[in-house]
Amino acid sequence: MDYVSALVPPVVMAAFFIGLVVTIVKSQGGDNKAKEDAAVDAAIARAEAVERQGGTPSGA
């Protein structure tokens, strides 16, 4: 029965990792994609505006 106790941790970790990968893949795109793209576009636009003005971002 030592082999069972030796195999349980890797099997549990593998199941957790598979679940993590599935969650990440499912969260990509879909309904959230437009919202995420808009947030990135807004952040880039703010950074470019600050750069054109020659200042530093307020968050830095």
The residue among 60 and 6 whose pLDDT is bigger is 6
Segment 3-48, tens digit of pLDDT: 888 999 999 999 999 999 999 888 777 777 778 788 899 999 999 9
Alpha-carbon distance of 23 to 12, in angstroms, equals 17
pLDDT at 32: 72
Q: Which amino acid is at 29?
A: G
Query: Who has greater pLDDT, 4 or 59?
Result: 4
* pTM of the complete model: 0.47
